[in-house]
Amino acid sequence: MNAVFYLLAAITIAGGLAAILLKHLIHAALAVTVAFGGIALLFLQLDAQFVGFAQILVYIGAVAILIVFAILLTHGADLPEKGVFNKGWAAALVIAAAVFAVTGWAVLQSIDAVPQRNAAPVVSMHDVGNALVGRYVLPLEIVGLLLTAATIGAVIVAMHEKERSR
Amino acid sequence: MLGEGILKGMAETAKNFAGSFVSAERMTTVQYPEERIPAVEAARVFPILIYDGADWQAGLRCVACQICEKECPPKCIYIEKSKDKKPDYVGKPQFYPTRFDIDVSVCMSCQICVEVCPFEAIKMDNEFELATDDRFGGLLYDSEKLAKSNEYYHSIHPTEASEVDARLAEEKAKVEAKAKAAAQAAAAKPMAAAPPAAPDKDAEGGA
Amino acid sequence: MAATPFFANLDRIFILLRDWLVGFLPAAFRPAAGVLLAVIAIVCVFPGLFALTTIFERKGLGRMQNRLGPNRVGPFGLFQPVADGIKALIKEDIVPLSSNSLVHFLAPLTLVVAVFMEFAVLPMGRNMALVDMDAGLLFFFAMSASTELSVFMAGWSSRNKYSLLGAMRAIAQMISYEVVLVLSSVSVVMIAGSLSLTAIVDKQNHYTAGLPHWYIFTPWGCAAFVMFAIAATAETNRSPFDLPEGESELVAGYHTEYSGFKFALFFLGEYLAMFSVSGLGTTLFLGGWSAPLSVLNWVPSWIWFFGKVMMSIFVFIWMRGTLPRLRQDQLMNFAWKFVLPFTLLDLLVTALWRMLGPGWERWVFCSVILLVAYVLMGLGAGRRRHIGPRTYRYAE
């Protein structure tokens, strides 16, 4: 919990808050990209090189682009007349607090599961690779299936119409 | 589709690249302003006024008929006609332009003024290095700047100039022959009517 | 092979220089100062190489087109980049009135910062990588992905439909070819067993009968290198894939509304990306800083690295002078229907190579499989495609 951690946490939280509070959608998308970058730097600060760079590669390099494409292609960049805040924000606050509580409880439980809490485990690329195809192969294959389904869906949506009604 | 076209293309450019260092006739670059491409005879840039002889004001062929001013598409010619007349190349008294301005920043080099001029007075120059930093008056050419001698016209458009000269000489010869015939007829008639008055009529007819 | 002390010191000259300069400071500041010096060296050397590349490109393209390039400024026109730099600096910085000025300002900065970061992991000589990371290759691709974001920022913030169109096309092209880039690098990672670029170069630094073990000299490596080269040309928006910035197509694409120094920064970013991706290709396939023949090991390693990078740049320029531009649908088709399947096949062949173990069998099998697949795909891609009016099932 040193100064670097606080700085990175401040960047991430600032990005997230800006993403919620900014009115212009593209600005909000760019702010959430800053938040992604902050998370990646937090991973790097914890010496998780693979996850940190994969976060940059995937989130900033692909997910952020996906978000801005989606905004642009659905005419979402115009300012809404009624304002950006939902009327049911109280219910949303409750749900968000519940999700945060569950996630926080899970994280705190997992800290107790690791025996040496103070020593940072040294995880190399090989360990990540071995874990992915050894212990976690089922989630890996399920994610692959999910991506295949998404790709097939994208191809079907963009496919040429068959020449049947000419 | 196996990429052999790309390889052939790359071989071609490699040949060009290597050849450019060894053979001089490959490189068609003309290093302006040290070298220049020789001027083509039919090139045209902006109009000039032709004068015969040494004095540009006396020999200017232009008679201020204002046909070129009316025909010019962007209306870049501005002519003011004189009040008096002076004789032209066949001796006939004609008007002359007291003011003949062409705005070459407007001129589009279409050559229509040359085509419609009945007196072979305005022709196209081929000088293009006319850049000036005088934004307001530097590109408005008056008649003094536009007047170029017939010898200059011969030097830039030799075939055209010889043809024009031949035509003008022919017309002049025709006019002179007609005048001589008219003078002979005028001299013959008084000889038949009153012999003593003949020498006076002769002197009048010749002047 | 023991090199004489002179050449060994020449090889390490930059390290020795840095240690000598850093020795003037107290011991507490030395590591940070060493890193700072290396960063300053990168920031000075690569833009200098960029300036040289611009003039060599213009003269090289000129000679390929049977004309002289620029030859007025300095001997043989070599000071032309100085003239270009001065011109870029004194031009008026025009920002469109209705543009998003913050994003408009940040876009070239994002590009240049991301591209400069890519140089941090390239091993430019023996022990000369700025940072030796375990996941160096992944870091490189992460930075390369961030450049796409800056392209979008540039195109969108200009409030110009042609800029936006150019940006969309550029991003689509860059994302498609980035997949190919990563997958062809994965072949190398499979054989080298590490994501660290210095480890990959060390694996290639062995010699058999004087010839090196560079990955380009293996069947799978040659195929992967060709795919990598195609993808690298497309990633940096270089001819024949320069539709997003083709002057005759979209004015200047996503950098239409930039003038003066910001345009120079985009230009710099594009050429630096070319350098860094050439550096990566050199590291992965051409053996990085290792010499082509074991007898040539006395030549300093950084000379080999920069020599190979400049050779790659010359091939880039050569391709630019030879090939016409690809249309957007042609280049997307090319990526997804030819290059990507071939790269996936190459991954399988690499796995086969590793499984078969050393011997002549793996050379024969892998070469035959790759050649047959290439010929079949090439002939298949040449079939005429139906071109008619497009209809979309769900978009009406």
What is the DSSP annotation of C16-80? HHHHHHHTTS-GGGHHHHHHHHHHHHHHHHHHHHHHHHHHHHHHHHHHHTTS----SSSGGGTTH
- A75 CB neighbour count, 10 Å cutoff: 7
Q: Look up the CATH number of domain A1-85.
A: 1.20.120.1200
Convert B156-175 to b/e letters by CB count within 10 Å (16 or more is b). bbeebbeebeeebeeeeeee
CA C114, C115, C117: angle at the middle one, nearest 5?
Answer: 65
Please name the member of C67, C322, C375 whose beta carbon is closest to the beta carbon of B2: C375
Residues of B with CB under 8 A from a CB of C: 1-3, 6, 9-10, 12-14, 16-17, 19-21, 26-29, 31
Beta bridge partners of C392: A160
Does B194 map to a domain?
Answer: no
Residue of C nearest to A63 (CA): C149
Among C366, C364, C342, which residue's Cα sits nearest to residue C353?
C366
What is the DSSP secondary-structure string of A27-90? HHHHHHHHHHHHHHHHHHHTT-HHHHHHHIIIIIIIIHHHHHHHHHHTTTTSPPTT-S--TTHH
Distance from C-alpha of B36 to C-alpha of B56, rounded to nearest angstrom:
31
CB contact under 8 A, C134 and A49: yes
**Does the pLDDT value for residue B191 go beyond 90?**
no
Cβ(C344)–Cβ(C180) below 8 Å: no
Residue of A nearest to C100 (CA): A27
> What ipTM does the predicted assembly reach?
0.82
What pLDDT score was predicted for residue B198?
47
Among C23, C18, C16, which residue's Cα sits nearest to residue C37?
C18
Tally the C-alpha atoms within 13 A of residue B44's C-alpha that lie toward its C-beta.
Answer: 18
- Summarised one tens digit per residue, pLDDT across range B90-134 is 778 888 899 999 999 999 999 999 999 998 899 999 888 888 998
User: Can you state the percent helix, strand and coil of chain C, rounding each to 5?
Assistant: 70, 0, 25
CB contact under 8 A, C164 and A72: yes
Beta bridge partners of B78: B101
Confidence class for position A165, pLDDT limits 50, 70, 90: very low
Lowest-pLDDT range, B9-18, B136-145, C203-212? C203-212
Which structural domain range is residue B133 located in?
47-163
Does B38 map to a domain?
Answer: no
CA dihedral C103, C109, C112, C113 (to 10 degrees): -110
- Summarised one tens digit per residue, pLDDT across range B122-133 is 999 988 888 899
Among C310, C297, C273, which residue's Cα sits nearest to residue C49?
C310
Among C88, C96, C62, which residue's Cα sits nearest to residue C76?
C62
- Chain A residues in contact with C390 by the CB 8 A cut-off are 160
- C391 CB neighbour count, 10 Å cutoff: 13
Gyration radius of chain B's alpha carbons: 28
Interface probe, candidates C57, C63, C227, chain B, greatest B C-beta count within 10 A: C63
Residue/partner pairs of A20-26 with CB below 8 Å, 24 or more apart? A23/A79, A23/A84, A24/A77, A24/A79, A25/A71, A25/A76, A25/A77, A26/A68, A26/A71, A26/A72, A26/A77, A26/C100, A26/C103, A26/C156
Confidence class for position B203, pLDDT limits 50, 70, 90: very low
CA C172, C175, C176: angle at the middle one, nearest 5?
Answer: 85
Print pLDDT tens along chain C (396 aa): 455 788 888 888 888 888 888 888 888 888 888 899 999 999 999 999 999 999 999 999 999 998 888 888 888 889 999 999 999 999 988 888 888 888 899 999 999 999 999 999 999 988 888 888 888 999 999 999 999 889 888 888 888 888 888 888 889 899 999 999 999 999 999 999 888 999 999 999 888 877 788 999 999 999 999 999 999 999 988 878 887 776 566 566 787 888 888 989 998 999 999 999 999 999 999 988 988 888 888 888 899 999 999 999 999 999 998 998 888 888 888 899 899 999 999 999 999 999 998 888 889 989 999 999 999 888 876 666 666 676 666 665
Gyration radius of chain A's alpha carbons: 20
C-alpha distances (whole Å) from B173 to each of B23, B176, B180, C136 are: 58, 5, 10, 96
What is the DSSP secondary-structure string of B86-117? EE-TTS-EE--EEEEEEETTT-----HHHHH-
- Where in chain A are the domains? 1-85, 86-116, 123-166
Whether A and B touch (3+ CB pairs < 8 Å), yes or no: no
Interface probe, candidates A41, A53, A164, chain C, greatest C C-beta count within 10 A: A53
What pLDDT score was predicted for residue A125?
78
The residue-averaged pLDDT of A76-90 equals: 68
- Summarised one tens digit per residue, pLDDT across range B35-60 is 888 888 888 999 999 998 888 888 88
CB contact under 8 A, A125 and C195: yes
The residue-averaged pLDDT of B160-175 equals: 89
Does B121 map to a domain?
Answer: yes
Please name the member of C71, C323, C375 whose beta carbon is closest to the beta carbon of B9: C323
CB contact under 8 A, B28 and C381: no
CATH number at residue B109: 3.30.70.3270
CB contact under 8 A, C66 and B20: yes
What pLDDT score was predicted for residue C3?
52
Distance from C-alpha of C120 to C-alpha of C108, rounded to nearest angstrom:
19
Does B16 map to a domain?
Answer: no
State the angle between helix axes of A25-45 and A3-21 in degrees (0 to 180), rounded to the nearest 10.
160
What pLDDT score was predicted for residue B200?
47
- Chain C residues in contact with A38 by the CB 8 A cut-off are none
Backbone angles phi, psi at C321, to 5 degrees: -75, -15
Q: SS3 for C171-194, per residue? A: HHHHHHHHHHHHHHHHHHHHHHCC
CA dihedral C140, C144, C150, C154 (to 10 degrees): 150
CB-based contacts of C115, cutoff 8 Å, min separation 6: C143, C147, C269, C272, C273, C276
Query: What pTM was computed for the model?
Result: 0.84
Number of domains in chain B: 1
Q: Could you tell me what percent of chain A has a pLDDT over 90?
A: 42
The C-alpha of A57 sits at a distance from chain C's nearest C-alpha, in angstroms, of 4
CA A114, A118, A124: angle at the middle one, nearest 5?
Answer: 70
For residue A5, give the amino acid letter. Answer: F
